[in-house]
Homo-oligomer: A and B are copies of this chain.
Amino acid sequence: MSDTTDTQGSWLSDDDIATMRGKMPVVYINAIPVLTDDLGIVTHIGLLLRLGADGDVNREIVSGRILYGERVRDALLRHLEKDLGPLALPQIPASPQPFTVVEYFPNPDITGFYDPRQHAVSLAYIVPVDGDCEPSQDALDLVWLRPDEVTSPTVAAELSPGHEKLVRRALAHVGRLP
């Protein structure tokens, strides 16, 4: 999970974050950007291309921390606008119910979702976007792939492991898992 830019908008210093990450779970959102047709059928999933800390290039979905004082919806909109640009017009869900909850641990064996830095509890939402998307900030690119493309071995291998599983859960939820 990447939240390079989170500290800009938060009331926490980097030291504070480092301290807390070792002491309590951190709340995240995950958003899977999708394109839909007139009948609501998901035709494409949006994946960000990002340079990892290790110099590798990874495909990712939108993810980031919920800040103190911020609602889940505020966090969804902020991270989607940060990653897809200000004209993406994301349709933030009417219901607060996430389609799944993902738990990342420093120990990879607990849930299979691994984050060496922290214990994170992430609420995951599927978000149709209507507008013009452009990768912003630290993302190198944004590609829209069909369900069969996003689950192909090639693309799956480029997704960060947790995101690969999460994307398949999302496709299952919208009835589009190949």
Contacts and interface: CB of A to CB of B under 8 A. Distances in A.
Interface of chain A: mostly helix, strand, loop or mixed: loop
Interface string A72-84: 1110110000000
The oligomer's copy count stands at 4
Contact of A27 (B12, B22, B27, B77): B27
A95 B172 CA distance: 9
Contacts of A11: 23
Interface stretch (A56-64, A86-94, A134-142, A152-160): A86-94
Interface string A3-21: 0000000011000100010
B175 A96 contact: yes
Nearest to A103: B71
Interface string A157-172: 0000000010011011
Contact of A172 (B41, B70, B119, B177): B177
Contacts of A171: 172
A71 B24 contact: no
Contacts of A42: 94
Given A40-B92, A98-B98, A101-B72, A27 B126 contact: no
Contacts of A97: 97-101, 173
Contacts of A174: 94-96
A2 B4 CA distance: 34
A116 interface: no
Nearest to A96: B101
20 contacts: A12-B23, A12-B24, A20-B20, A24-B67, A24-B68, A25-B66, A25-B67, A25-B68, A25-B70, A27-B121, A39-B92, A40-B91, A40-B94, A41-B94, A69-B107, A91-B91, A94-B126, A94-B174, A100-B173, A172-B173
